[in-house]
Structure 1
Amino acid sequence: MLHKSQCIFLSRAAFYFILTVIICYFYLISLIQEPFDRSDRL
């Protein structure tokens, strides 16, 4: 069985992992959309 501290650590690690994935996802979207925005302005 998992100890309470291990459960807290795992849930916190999962939370930060998901948060990092979301940030990377939006960062990639902004990188992909930037060239299109620049071409629209020209």
Structure 2
Amino acid sequence: MLRTIALGSCVSVQGIVVGSTQDGKLMVRVDDKTFVGYPVSGARN
């Protein structure tokens, strides 16, 4: 599943979910790199 995570206040990454941590962070893979951050909620109208 493709998800967006926030790495900081101005940096986000979108990639394939490969796991999660106990503190609620998601791990996403982009090419050969794995990033860990908090999931970004979707836009709601």
Please tell me the TM-score bracket, short chain as reference. Answer: under 0.3
* TM-score, length basis structure 1: 0.16
Judging by fraction of residues, say which structure has more strand: 2
> Larger Rg: 1 or 2?
1
* Bigger relative contact order, structure 1 or 2 (CA pairs below 8 A, ≥6 apart): 2
